[in-house]
Amino acid sequence: MNLQDFYQFLDDVVESNADADDLFASSYIRGFVSLHAAAFGDESQPLSQALASKVSEELVNAKNELTPQDQAIVAAYWQTLTPKFSA
């Protein structure tokens, strides 16, 4: 899966009548991925473990931006996405 496919996956979540928690988490995480992806290549780049590690690190650093409940939602959703990132 490349970055463009990943963005399409997240867009599909929005279009699929997902619940509010999934919509929030997918949008929040997409922002972090978008912010850091440019350092790893363009939208055709494969999703890398290095990018996933950077996003994970930044999500931890930004946890004070969220309520504890939202932190849990984002962390759980991120765990479902990390397998999409290859070595």
CA 32 to chain centre: 6
The pLDDT-based confidence of 9 (bands split at 50, 70, 90) is very high
Asked whether residue 87 carries a pLDDT value surpassing 80, the answer given is: no
What is the mean pLDDT of the segment spanning 32-56?
90
Asked whether residue 23 carries a pLDDT value surpassing 60, the answer given is: yes
The pLDDT-based confidence of 50 (bands split at 50, 70, 90) is very high
In this predicted model, which residue has the larger pLDDT, 45 or 27? 27
What is the mean pLDDT of the segment spanning 27-50?
90
Share of the chain above pLDDT 90, in %: 77
